[in-house]
Amino acid sequence: GIFNSTTNFILAEMANDRSFADALAEAQRRGIAETDPTLDVEGWDTANKLVIIANSFLGISASLADVSVQGITALTAADLQQARTRGQTIKLLATATQQADGYRLSVAPAPVSVDEFLGQCDGWEMGIEIYSDLYGRMYHKLWEREPMPTAAAMLRDAVNLFVSPQALPPTQR
């Protein structure tokens, strides 16, 4: 999945021949990127979200130490242009890959076909592609240009924790 709209915006700007520094400055000018964007651009915000999803939906006990993390700071506009010539785009992807001994969790920039669902998540969009034995492939997309979706999610989580304390581990109830 693509779990960070700030990095997705920066990559989209870089695909249009902007440098990383210019794209980041534009995101900051718009008030979307933090003054210190390290958690976003180094992949740690995405890794945190991947750990939450892995623990909640995959039923595993994961921590940040279980995630291989690489951000987008080493990418150049030329990297994105080269991907475009191959019919691809580069996205900061969070992946949980099932293996015989559990799951491999990673966050890294990866080439994606522009024809694929995640390849079409552009700018402020975030998306997730889920493979399920029951439903097959499922696709979900969210446009998060403003802080409202994040605030709504935080409020929803706080209400769920307040209303449903059994959602917490016994040591935290």
The residues that are catalytic are: 49
Q: What residues have CB less than 8 Å from 92, skipping those under 6 apart?
A: 2, 4, 7, 8, 11, 43, 46, 71, 72, 107, 108, 109, 110
Task: Give the span between the Cα atoms of 120 and 47, in whole angstroms.
Answer: 21
> Comparing C-alpha atoms, which of 21, 114, 129, 121 is closest to residue 75?
21
Any idea which residue has 């890794």 for tokens?
47
Task: Give the span between the Cα atoms of 165 and 173, in whole angstroms.
Answer: 6
Helix axes 77-85, 5-15, angle to 10 degrees: 70
Considering only the C-alpha atoms of the chain, give the largest distance between any 2 of them, rounded to a whole number of Å.
54
Q: What residues have CB less than 8 Å from 150, skipping those under 6 apart?
A: 144
Tokens of 118: 């995640």
